[in-house]
C-alpha cells in the first residue's frame, strides 16, 4: 500500500538540445506527451523571444487554414455578398473590413467605367462593384453592418453555379469572348482546390504542431555559443527511458551528429502530481480532481472511488427496473464509443454524459444489486422465493378490513426471513414505511461509519510514506480510537440488537438513539430505556473516557511535542555551527550566514510561533471531533433519498400506470398505449434523470466532504505535459 494507488514519482530533468536538432527533439517529445516544460525566461517579453517570428508565421498560416478547416459535414462552403460603393470609399472600406473581421474575409473589387446617376441628387458618381467572401453567420452580420455604414448598395446574387451562369449569359456580349477562358480557369482552380482539400487537415495539424513547438522552444535558454538550447522539464521517472529514446529519435531525424543529453536534477521544489489513467478510470479521477489536485505522492482516492461512488449512489437510487434502464443506456455509449468519438458533437451536455459513461454503467449495475436487496422494481416487489409470512391469514385480514399490518409477534404468522432482500409481502402492508425507515436508517449509519473509518485508515499510509511518526501516534491513533470508541461501538450495538432480539421480542428492544445519547451524557438513570446487555454502563463509561482522552492528545500533546522538536533542532544546528567555527551568538546572525556554514539550516526557523501552531491544532481537533458527529449524520441522506426515490416511484405508478391497468373503459389497447408512453416519459425524466442527478450530487458530497477530508489534502498542482494530442484535441471546430 506504500506505493499502491499513489501518483507517479516525478523528477526534474535538464535537457541540452543542439540548435539544429531542437525542433525535431521537441516534436518527438510532443508525440510522446510525457514531459512538462518549465519557462526559463519568465522575465522576457513574448515579443522578444528567439522564435517569435516563427510563431507569427504559424499563426498567419493557421488563420488562413481556418477558412477552409474541416467540419462535421467534411467542408464549410464560402458565402458572399455583392454590391456597389462609391469609388473614393474603397480604401477605407477595405481597411475597416480587414480590422473588424480580423482578416477572415476576401474582398475583390472592380471599377465601373461609366458613371452612374445618383437617384437622390441626380449627380453623376463613379462607383466600384465589389464581392466579399466570408464564412459563417457571425462574419455575415459584421460585413452587412459595415456595408450599411459605408452606404454601399447590396444586390442579391445567386449562390448556385447554374443560376450564376444563367445570369452571366444575359450580361453584356463582350463577356462571351472571355467565357471559355473563364471556364478553363474555373476548372483548373477546382482541380487545384480539390487536390489541396485532400491535404488540408494534414496542413492544419502540421501548422498547429509547429506553432506549439516554437512556443515550447521559447521556454528554453540559449547558451553563449548560440548552438545549444537548455530546457528544464518535469517527467515521470518510469518514462525516462521512453524520453531518452524520443530524444535519440529526434536527433536522428534532424541529421545532427551531437546527441541530446538528459540529466536528472536534484531539487527541493514540489513536483507536479501525475496519475496515469485510461478511458475507464479517467472519469473517476476527474471526480477526485474536481475536489482538488492531490499533493505529490499522496494517496489517490480515485481507485477506491471506482467502487464506493457507484455503490453509495445505488444505495440512494436502488431500483432494479431503473438500474436496468441506466445500465442499458450506458452500455450503448460504451459499445458505440468508437463511432461516437469519430463523430464529435458540440452538445456539451451529451459530451459530459459520454465522458462519464463508465461511471453511469457501474451506477446502473450497482443500482440493480441494491434494487434486488430492496426488492424494488418500478415500485413493485418480485415474489421469487415465496413469502416468509403465512399467506392465508393475510388474505383473511384483507377481506375483512382491507388494511394489512404485519406484526411478527402474532403467533403462526411469521415463519422466517426472506432468503434475499425484503419480503414482497411488505409491499402491501400499511406499516411498510415504518419497517423500511428503521432498516435503511441503521444501514446508512453502518455504511457511513465504515466509509469514514476507511478514510481515516488511509491517512496512516500517507504518514508512513512521508515518514511522519508524530502524525501517527498523535494524529492517526487518537482519531481512529475516538471514532471507534463512539461510532464504531454504535455499529456494534446495531448488530447486537439485530441478533439479540428476534421478531417476537423486537417491540421490547430499547432505542439505540436514546441509548447513544445517554452514553455521551453519562445519563444512566433513564428507566424508560433499559440496557441492552449486562455490564453496559461500565463498558460505555470506559469508551467515552477513552474518546475524551484522545482529544488532549490531538489538541495539547501534539503542540507541545512540536515545540520540543523545534527547540531540539535549534540546539542541534547551533552546536553544529559552533563545530565549524561559528561564534556562540549564531542565533542572531542572519539566515544567509547560517546557510553558508550549516547545510541543513534550511530546516531552521529562527522563531517558533507557539500561538499559531496551537490555534491550527485546535481548529483541526475541533473540526475532526465535531465532524465525526456531523459527518455521521450526513450519511443519513442515504436513508432519506432511498425512501424518497421509492415513494416517488410508487406515486408515479399509482397515479399513472395503475389507472391505465385498472381502467375498464372501451379505449382498450389504444388508451393503455398512451398511458404507458406517459409513464415511460415521466420515469425517464423524473426518476432517471432528475432523481439520478440528485443521488449523484449527494454521493459526490459524501466522497468530497465525509471521505476524502480524512486523508486527502488536495493542494497540489497538476502535471500538464507538452502533448500534441491534447493540443489538437477538439480544436478543429474553432
pLDDT at 226: 76
Q: Which helix (H) or strand (E) holds 229?
A: strand 228-236
722/113 Cα distance (integer angstroms): 58
Virtual torsion, Cα 656, 658, 663, 667, nearest 10 deg = 50
HEC secondary structure over 368-415: HHHHHHHCCECCECCCCCCCCECHHHHHHHHHHHCCCCCCCCCCCCEC
What are 200's strand-pairing partners? none
Strands (E), 103-163: 106-111, 116-117, 124-125, 127-134, 153-155
pLDDT digits (tens, 9 = 90+) for 204-236: 889 989 999 999 999 999 887 778 999 999 999
pLDDT at 402: 54
pLDDT digits (tens, 9 = 90+) for 65-105: 766 554 444 744 678 888 889 888 889 998 898 888 888 88
pTM of structure = 0.77
What are 129's strand-pairing partners? 84, 110
Query: Is the CATH code 3.30.70.260 the one for domain 10-64+203-265?
Result: yes
Q: Which helix (H) or strand (E) holds 514?
A: helix 512-521
How long, in residues, is the chain?
A: 734
Distances (CA, A) of 725 to 80, 323, 486: 35, 36, 52
Q: Which CATH number fits domain 73-199: 3.30.70.3450, 3.40.30.10, 3.40.50.2300, 3.30.565.10?
A: 3.30.70.3450
**DSSP strand pairing (106-111 vs 79-86):** unpaired
Closest residue by Cα to residue 22 from 213, 206, 243: 213
441/456 Cα distance (integer angstroms): 23
Instruction: Collapse the DSSP code of 718 into the 3-class scheme (helix H, G, I; strand E, B; otherwise coil) and give the result.
Output: strand
Give the strand order in the sheet containing 106-111: 106-111, 127-134, 79-86, 153-155
pLDDT at 404: 62
Q: What is the mean pLDDT of each run of 10 residues along the chain (734 residues)?
A: 71 89 91 90 86 88 68 59 89 89 86 82 86 84 89 78 69 66 84 83 88 92 84 93 93 89 90 93 94 93 96 95 96 93 83 94 96 91 75 55 57 69 79 84 95 96 93 94 95 90 66 90 84 91 95 89 80 57 44 43 54 87 92 94 92 83 68 86 93 95 94 93 81 39
pLDDT at 239: 92
What is the gyration radius of the CA atoms in the chain, in angstroms? 37
Q: How far is CA 564 from the centre of its chain?
A: 43
* Helix extents (H) in 199-239: 200-217
pLDDT at 529: 82
Closest residue by Cα to residue 358 from 310, 324, 290: 310
Closest residue by Cα to residue 109 from 87, 140, 139: 87
Closest residue by Cα to residue 698 from 283, 314, 289, 304: 314
Amino acid at each position: 500500500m506504500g506505493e499502491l494507488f499513489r501518483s507517479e514519482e516525478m523528477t526534474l530533468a535538464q535537457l541540452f538540445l543542439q540548435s539544429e536538432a531542437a525542433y525535431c527533439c521537441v516534436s518527438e517529445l510532443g508525440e510522446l506527451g510525457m514531459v512538462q516544460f518549465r519557462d526559463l525566461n519568465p522575465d522576457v517579453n513574448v515579443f522578444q523571444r528567439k522564435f517569435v517570428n516563427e510563431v507569427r508565421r504559424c499563426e498567419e498560416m493557421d488563420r488562413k487554414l481556418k477558412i477552409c478547416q474541416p467540419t462535421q459535414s467534411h467542408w464549410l462552403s464560402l458565402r458572399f455578398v455583392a454590391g456597389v460603393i462609391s469609388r473614393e470609399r474603397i480604401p477605407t472600406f477595405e481597411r475597416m473590413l480587414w480590422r473588424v473581421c480580423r482578416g477572415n474575409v476576401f474582398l475583390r473589387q472592380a471599377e465601373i467605367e461609366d458613371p452612374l446617376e445618383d437617384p437622390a441628387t441626380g449627380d453623376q458618381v463613379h462607383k466600384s462593384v465589389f464581392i466579399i467572401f466570408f464564412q459563417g453567420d457571425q462574419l455575415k452580420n459584421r460585413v452587412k453592418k459595415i456595408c450599411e455604414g459605408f452606404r454601399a448598395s447590396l444586390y442579391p446574387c445567386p449562390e448556385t453555379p447554374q443560376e450564376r451562369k444563367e445570369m452571366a449569359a444575359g450580361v453584356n456580349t463582350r463577356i462571351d469572348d472571355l467565357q471559355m477562358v473563364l471556364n478553363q480557369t474555373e476548372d483548373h482552380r477546382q482541380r487545384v482546390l480539390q487536390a489541396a482539400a485532400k491535404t488540408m487537415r494534414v496542413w492544419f495539424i502540421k501548422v498547429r504542431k509547429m506553432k506549439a513547438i516554437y512556443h515550447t522552444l521559447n521556454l528554453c535558454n540559449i547558451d553563449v555559443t548560440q548552438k545549444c538550447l537548455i530546457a528544464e522539464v518535469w517527467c515521470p521517472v518510469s518514462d525516462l527511458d521512453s524520453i531518452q529514446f524520443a530524444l535519440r529519435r529526434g536527433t536522428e531525424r534532424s541529421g545532427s551528429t551531437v546527441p541530446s543529453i538528459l540529466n536528472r536534477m536534484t531539487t527541493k521544489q514540489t513536483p507536479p502530481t501525475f496519475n496515469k489513467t485510461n478511458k475507464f478510470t479517467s472519469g473517476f479521477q476527474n471526480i477526485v480532481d474536481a475536489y482538488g489536485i492531490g499533493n505529490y505522492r499522496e494517496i489517490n482516492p480515485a481507485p477506491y472511488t471506482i467502487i464506493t461512488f457507484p455503490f453509495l449512489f445505488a444505495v440512494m437510487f436502488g431500483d432494479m427496473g431503473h438500474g436496468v434502464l441506466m445500465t442499458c443506456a450506458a452500455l450503448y455509449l460504451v459499445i458505440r464509443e468508437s463511432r461516437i468519438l469519430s463523430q464529435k458533437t458540440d452538445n456539451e451536455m451529451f459530451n459530459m454524459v459520454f465522458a462519464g459513461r463508465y461511471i453511469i454503467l457501474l451506477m446502473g449495475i450497482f443500482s440493480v444489486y441494491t434494487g434486488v436487496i430492496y426488492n424494488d422494481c418500478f415500485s413493485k416487489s418480485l415474489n421469487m422465493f415465496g413469502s416468509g409470512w403465512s399467506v392465508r391469514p393475510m388474505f383473511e385480514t384483507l377481506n375483512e378490513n382491507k388494511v394489512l399490518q404485519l406484526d411478527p409477534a402474532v403467533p403462526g404468522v411469521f415463519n422466517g426471513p426472506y432468503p434475499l432482500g425484503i419480503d414482497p409481502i411488505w409491499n402491501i402492508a400499511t406499516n411498510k414505511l415504518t419497517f423500511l425507515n428503521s432498516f435503511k436508517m441503521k444501514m446508512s449509519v453502518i455504511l457511513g461509519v465504515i466509509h469514514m473509518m476507511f478514510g481515516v485508515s488511509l491517512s496512516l499510509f500517507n504518514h508512513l510514506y512521508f515518514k511522519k511518526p508524530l502524525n501517527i501516534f498523535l494524529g492517526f491513533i487518537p482519531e481512529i480510537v475516538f471514532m471507534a470508541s463512539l461510532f464504531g461501538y454504535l455499529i456494534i450495538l446495531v448488530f447486537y440488537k439485530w441478533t439479540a432480539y428476534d421478531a417476537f421480542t423486537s417491540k421490547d428492544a430499547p432505542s439505540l438513539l436514546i441509548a447513544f445519547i445517554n452514553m455521551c451524557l453519562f445519563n444512566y438513570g433513564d428507566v424508560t430505556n433499559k440496557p441492552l446487555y449486562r455490564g453496559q454502563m461500565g463498558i460505555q463509561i470506559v469508551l467515552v473516557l477513552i474518546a475524551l482522552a484522545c482529544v488532549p492528545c490531538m489538541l495539547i500533546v501534539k503542540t507541545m511535542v512540536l515545540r520540543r522538536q523545534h527547540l531540539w533542532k535549534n540546539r542541534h544546528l547551533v552546536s553544529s555551527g559552533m563545530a565549524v567555527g561559528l561564534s556562540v551568538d549564531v542565533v542572531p546572525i542572519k539566515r544567509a550566514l547560517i546557510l553558508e556554514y550549516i547545510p541543513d539550516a534550511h530546516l531552521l526557523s529562527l522563531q517558533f510561533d507557539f500561538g499559531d501552531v496551537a490555534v491550527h491544532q485546535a481548529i483541526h481537533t475541533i473540526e475532526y471531533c465535531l465532524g465525526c458527529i456531523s459527518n455521521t449524520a450526513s450519511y443519513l441522506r442515504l436513508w432519506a433519498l432511498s425512501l424518497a426515490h421509492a415513494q416517488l416511484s410508487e406515486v408515479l405508478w399509482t397515479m399513472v400506470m395503475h389507472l391505465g391497468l385498472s381502467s375498464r373503459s372501451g379505449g382498450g389497447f389504444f388508451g393503455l398505449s398512451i398511458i404507458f408512453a406517459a409513464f415511460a416519459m415521466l420515469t425517464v425524466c423524473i426518476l432517471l434523470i432528475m432523481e439520478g442527478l440528485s443521488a449523484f450530487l449527494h454521493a459526490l458530497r459524501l466522497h468530497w466532504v465525509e471521505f476524502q477530508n480524512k486523508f486527502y489534502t488536495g493542494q497540489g498542482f497538476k502535471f500538464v505535459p507538452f502533448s500534441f494530442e491534447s493540443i489538437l484535441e477538439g480544436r478543429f471546430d474553432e
